């Protein structure tokens, strides 16, 4: 790993004095490549804290534009960024925070045609998407690419965070779970309202995104107990955190003993134009 420069030593000295991090840990962060899906309510705090922590290369994929009515939670963007591509606005923001990192942007949607190629370029993925189709696509792609996934989802006043790494095994020798072990299939379209329809309290996105970024940093550094095999639930109204255990489901369609989903197009059949054309 590349040694730290004098500028990096100065910038990260609060990490360097942490016994659990130190120079070796900061070098791991510098060498790490993290892909963030979405630059919205979750992606904003994720990219901000990863950049500040010194993650060497951050990829951001999002095809959306900055909108004024989203700025109450999308803190990577400013009022004057309205109308700009979110990936460009987020890139400029985090480079102002830390010009010593690299940022790679993808102003496009992630889909079955490009997901594995893009995800395979990175060490770990943080999913900040806001719809079930993308969450399942990203989870499935990370499974096929053998990449760990820091997962998070928002409700109006609550949030959910986990770490999916089914390419590794737990203490009992079983694979860690995937999203499909918890929910084998996404709910029918229209059954669950999204944030645009029901709203979300802005700071809740900040709390959940910050926890998600923490899981990414912990995974890079190999610190503490990760959320692999566990789901963290945050209830903002009750000011309460709860952790529930989740296990590998041997009957799940992706990573079970007899999988029926063998590629991304099989998982996205009927939902992705690129697959329909194949």
Q: pTM of this prediction?
A: 0.94
Whether pLDDT at 135 is above 50: yes
What is the bridge-based pairing of β-strands 124-127 and 33-37?
Answer: parallel
What pLDDT score does 273 carry?
Answer: 42
- pLDDT confidence of 278, banded at 50, 70, 90? very low
pLDDT digits (tens, 9 = 90+) for 187-196: 776 656 666 6
What pLDDT score does 125 carry?
Answer: 98
Q: Which helix (H) or strand (E) holds 36?
A: strand 33-37
Integer Cα distance of 197 and 262 in angstroms:
34
Q: Write out the two tokens for 84.
A: 């700009």
Q: What count of other Cβ atoms lies within 10 Å of the Cβ of residue 113?
A: 17
Q: What count of other Cβ atoms lies within 10 Å of the Cβ of residue 78?
A: 13
pLDDT digits (tens, 9 = 90+) for 142-189: 999 999 999 999 999 999 999 999 999 999 999 999 999 998 887 776
What pLDDT score does 275 carry?
Answer: 56
List of domains in the chain: 12-273 (3.40.50.720)
Q: What count of other Cβ atoms lies within 10 Å of the Cβ of residue 57?
A: 18
92 CA to centre of own chain? 20
What pLDDT score does 195 carry?
Answer: 63
Integer Cα distance of 155 and 153 in angstroms:
7
247 DSSP 8-state letter: -
What pLDDT score does 265 carry?
Answer: 77
pLDDT digits (tens, 9 = 90+) for 32-47: 999 999 999 999 999 9
Average predicted confidence (pLDDT) for the chain:
93
pLDDT digits (tens, 9 = 90+) for 17-74: 999 999 999 999 999 999 999 999 999 999 999 999 999 999 999 999 999 999 999 9
Q: What count of other Cβ atoms lies within 10 Å of the Cβ of residue 178?
A: 29
- pLDDT confidence of 233, banded at 50, 70, 90? very high
What pLDDT score does 271 carry?
Answer: 44
């Amino acid at each position: 790993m590349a040694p730290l420069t004098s500028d990096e030593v100065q910038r990260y000295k609060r990490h360097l004095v942490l016994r659990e991090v130190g120079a070796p840990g900061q070098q791991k962060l510098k060498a790490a490549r993290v892909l963030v899906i979405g630059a919205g309510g979750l992606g904003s705090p994720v990219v901000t804290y990863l950049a500040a922590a010194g993650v060497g290369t951050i990829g951001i994929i999002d095809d959306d534009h900055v909108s004024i009515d989203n700025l109450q939670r999308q803190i990577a963007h400013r009022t004057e960024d309205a109308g700009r591509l979110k990936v460009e606005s987020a890139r400029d923001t985090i480079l102002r925070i830390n010009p010593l990192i690299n940022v790679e942007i993808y102003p496009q949607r992630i889909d079955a045609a490009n997901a594995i190629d893009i995800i395979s370029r990175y060490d770990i993925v943080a999913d900040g998407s806001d719809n079930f189709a993308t969450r399942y696509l990203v989870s499935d792609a990370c499974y096929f690419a053998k990449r760990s996934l820091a997962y998070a989802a928002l409700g109006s006043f609550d949030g959910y965070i986990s770490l999916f790494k089914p390419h590794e095994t737990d203490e009992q020798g079983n694979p860690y779970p995937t999203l499909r072990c918890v929910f084998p299939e996404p709910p029918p379209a229209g059954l669950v309202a999204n944030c645009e329809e029901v709203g979300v309290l802005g700071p809740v996105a900040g709390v959940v995104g910050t926890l998600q970024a923490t899981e990414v940093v912990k995974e890079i550094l190999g610190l503490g107990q990760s959320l692999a095999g566990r789901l963290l639930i945050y209830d903002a109204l009750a000011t309460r955190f709860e952790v529930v255990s989740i296990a590998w489901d041997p009957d799940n369609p992706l990573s079970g003993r007899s999988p029926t989903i063998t590629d991304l197009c099989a998982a996205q059949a009927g939902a992705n134009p690129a697959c329909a054309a194949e």
